[in-house]
Amino acid sequence: MEVGAVPVGLLSEDFDPTTVVETEPLAPLAAAEGNGKDIVLGRNVHTTCLEVTEPEANDEFTGDKEAYMASVLARYRKNLVERTKHHLGYPYNLDFDYGALGQLQHFSINNLGDPFIESNYGVHSRQFEVGVLDWFARLWEIEKNEYWGYITNCGTEGNLHGILVGREVLPDGILYASRESHYSVFKAARMYRMECVKVNCLITGEIDCADFKAKLASNKDKPAIINVNIGTTVKGAVDDLDLVIKTLEETGFTHDRFYIHCDGALFGLMMPFVKRAPKVSFKKPIGSVSVSGHKFVGCPMPCGVQITRMEHINVLSRNVEYLASRDATIMGSRNGHAPIFLWYTLNRKGYKGFQKEVQKCLRNAHYLKDRLQDAGVSAMLNELSSTVVFERPLDEEFVRRWQLACQGNIAHVVVMPNVTIDKLDDFLNELIEKRSTWYQEGNVKPPCVAADLGSENCACVLHKAKIYDE
Ligand SMILES: *Cc1c(COP(=O)(O)O)cnc(C)c1O
């Protein structure tokens, strides 16, 4: 199941993902009025829900009911196949085959408590979890006896944990994060009631260290907790970790007065394989690193990895008699299946396998950017990134069909290992054809995105002439 592999094959061996799929119509847009860009708060949509129907009075499972449920699931599966095929906007690697792990669906695997301290609940997967953590510890250059970490439910949980550790180590610290940091960073600030200073970004989306320096200088009396982005959500920008550290040192912050959390949710597992990329390493004065497991790695359920220093975790943890373990995680019960999926992929691909996939993604991303620009579409691709940012397509149906993530006038495609040249060609051909009808009359024009992508990447009427001059 390599080409166009889909997660739905998990439970059944006879599933053929290449069978022709009748596409179900997309559900109507949630926002009935307007252009579909507005989210209507307080008005949840129930029209597409699958009602739960009570079993017959005699409590017996009737054949009709079984058949009904089977047909609902079969239709749902078809829909998943189709939606998987037309997915480009979110950084999820949808290409995997975990058929061998189907047998584990029968178990309630739970790693509640600390990964390194066995609790009394025996149906766990700590042996896999610690194996995975050791692999990441080696990747980020920290000795086995010097790190602590766990497998989280997602990248957000890693950020919530990293920032919490930072606050426990430096209780009166101010949180610094660039404006283009993931929303979970600002959520952490609200949850923990921390003072938070937003730092400006360069046009690439990287943190602007000149602004960072000025803001540090005016808050010298308080320690600094910094969120560094290893790949921002929208533009895929990588903050310059070395420059952030240098800025802190130059402003007079000694190592005991700052804590750096690296949010590597997106590129945490890609950067180590890009030669020119600034290295994320615990040999540098950083406090924690987190990454999402369902993004580049490709896991069928959300998960993530969080690694910090052993010395820090002791500040945070409490012993819990009921668990016979230690409480140092954000969540209580923890998904015990996720570590096995991660372990399985790390074993199959290994360092070399990821390296190859990263190279392929970067190549394909360049292909997409070049073809967009050749077609006169505003587009940008950061050097270390596989996130191609471009003008937002005019038509919301098109955006939804390809599941593009949008913000203001821009949209992006994140080129993950499952995004092939063929898929990009399908997308490009459709986009180019649609654009010729959207902008045919000339009274509607493609948006100017100079403010988002820089005038050199903007192909709007005003800036286009400049591109062709060069
Ligand atoms: C996706 C993402 C997150 C959050 O990860 P989830 O796994 O979706 O919770 C955090 N930071 C960045 C930069 C991301 O791209």
Pocket test for ligand 1, best of 181, 239, 262, 263 (most atoms within 8 A of CB): 263
Consecutive H or E run containing 434: helix 421-438
Q: Is 297 helix (H, G, I), strand (E, B) or coil?
A: coil
Ligand 1 centre to CA of 364 (Å) is 22
Residues with CB under 6 A from ligand 1: 154-156, 159, 182, 184, 229, 231-233, 263, 265-266, 292, 302, 304
Rounded to 5 degrees, φ, ψ at 105 are -60, -15
Ligand 1 centre to CA of 408 (Å) is 19
Residue 292 Cα: closest atom of ligand 1: 7
Which is the catalytic residue, given 178, 385, 436, 455?
A: 385
Closest-CA residue, ligand 1 atom 15, reads: 233
Cα–Cα dist 402/391, whole Å: 14
Ligand 1 centre to CA of 291 (Å) is 8
Pocket test for ligand 1, best of 152, 153, 156 (most atoms within 8 A of CB): 156
The whole-model pTM stands at 0.88
Cα–Cα dist 177/227, whole Å: 5
| Tens-level pLDDT at each residue, the chain (470 residues) | 344 444 443 444 444 444 444 555 555 554 444 444 556 666 677 777 888 888 777 656 668 888 989 999 999 999 999 999 899 998 899 888 999 999 999 999 999 989 999 888 899 999 999 999 999 999 999 999 999 999 999 999 999 999 999 999 999 999 999 999 999 999 999 999 999 999 999 999 999 999 999 999 999 999 999 999 999 999 999 999 999 999 999 999 999 999 999 999 989 988 888 888 889 999 999 999 999 999 999 999 999 999 999 999 988 777 777 766 778 999 999 999 999 999 999 999 999 999 999 999 999 999 999 999 999 999 999 988 999 999 999 999 999 999 999 999 999 999 999 999 999 999 999 999 999 999 988 778 899 999 999 999 999 888 876 555 44
Pocket test for ligand 1, best of 207, 288, 292, 386 (most atoms within 8 A of CB): 292
Catalytic: 385? yes
Q: Is 113 helix (H, G, I), strand (E, B) or coil?
A: coil
Angle at 295 between CA 356 and CA 176, to 5 degrees: 110
b (16+ CB within 10 A) / e for 51-76: eeeeeeeeeeeeeeeeeeeeeeeeee
What is the Cβ-side half-sphere exposure of residue 455, based on CA atoms within 13 angstroms?
6
Ligand 1 centre to CA of 181 (Å) is 10
